[in-house]
């Protein structure tokens, strides 16, 4: 009898440990069950709202503001490459389609968490043109170590002359 109780207690502990490290694998269905939050629905992200495909990447807003919209999902960032102008503040808005991911701009102190059902926003200025790798820095599953995007910081006048499609690719120009 004592052995059985010990076994059950051990199972509960293992379950709790799994839940605390892999909570994102169960929190999505639970989150859905309770009707979601105010943020974008991870399941319909690509279909409607702020994060539809055509709205991703860098865009110039009113009064010369720049906004980048991205989706993180197992195990890619969409878009894979983003192009931003140098020397001006760029606001990143990012969400996740599944697990929690973390963008980190290698060679800078900049980082940004992507959380399902929420939009994370932060504004960064990249002083000079250059290329940055954006690896995922939050363990998000089997493909985590291969999950990365690229940032291409270009001179401001060059950015202004680029078409929207060109701002979402790192093809050589
Ligand atoms: Cu996404 Cu690790």
pLDDT digit string (tens) for 49-84?
Answer: 899 988 888 888 888 789 999 999 999 999 999 999
Is residue 71 within 8 Å of 94, Cβ to Cβ?
yes
Indicate the range of 43-47, 81-85, 122-126, 138-142 predicted with least confidence. 43-47
Distance between Cα 34 and ligand 1 center (Å)? 26
Is residue 164 predicted with pLDDT exceeding 90? no
Is residue 5 predicted with pLDDT exceeding 60? yes
Q: What pLDDT score was predicted for residue 146? A: 95
Q: Are strands 81-85 and 89-96 parallel, antiparallel or unpaired?
A: unpaired
- As a whole number of angstroms, the distance between CA 66 and CA 149 comes to 19
Tell me whether residue 152 is exposed, middle or buried, using C-beta atoms within 10 angstroms of its C-beta: 0 to 12, 13 to 18, 19 or more: buried
Q: What pLDDT score was predicted for residue 19? A: 59
Name which residue sits closest to atom 1 of ligand 1, judged by CA.
101
Distance between Cα 113 and ligand 1 center (Å)? 10
Is residue 25 predicted with pLDDT exceeding 80? no
Q: Which atom of ligand 1 is nearest to the CA of 140?
A: 2
Q: Which residues line ligand 1 (CB under 6 A)?
A: 101, 136, 138-140, 144, 147
- As a whole number of angstroms, the distance between CA 29 and CA 98 comes to 10
Q: Which atom of ligand 1 is nearest to the CA of 144?
A: 2
Arithmetic mean of pLDDT, 89-101: 95
Q: What pLDDT score was predicted for residue 97? A: 94
Distance between Cα 62 and ligand 1 center (Å)? 33
Q: Model confidence at 17, in pLDDT bands (50, 70, 90)?
A: low
Q: Which atom of ligand 1 is nearest to the CA of 75?
A: 1
């Amino acid at each position: 009898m004592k052995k059985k109780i010990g076994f059950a207690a051990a199972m509960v502990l293992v379950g709790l440990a799994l839940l605390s490290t892999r909570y994102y694998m169960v929190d999505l269905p639970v989150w859905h069950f309770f009707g979601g939050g105010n943020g974008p629905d991870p399941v319909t992200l690509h279909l409607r709202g702020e994060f539809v495909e055509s709205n991703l990447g860098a865009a110039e807003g009113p009064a010369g503001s720049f906004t980048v919209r991205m989706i993180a999902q197992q195990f890619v960032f969409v878009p894979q490459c983003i192009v931003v102008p140098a020397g001006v503040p760029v606001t990143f808005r990012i969400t996740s389609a599944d697990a929690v991911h973390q963008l980190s701009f290698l060679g800078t102190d900049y980082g940004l968490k992507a959380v399902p059902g929420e939009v994370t926003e932060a504004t960064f200025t990249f002083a000079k043109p250059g290329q940055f790798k954006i690896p995922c820095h939050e363990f998000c599953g089997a493909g985590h170590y291969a999950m990365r995007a690229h940032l291409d910081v270009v001179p401001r006048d060059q950015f202004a002359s680029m078409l929207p499609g060109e701002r979402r690719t790192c093809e050589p120009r």
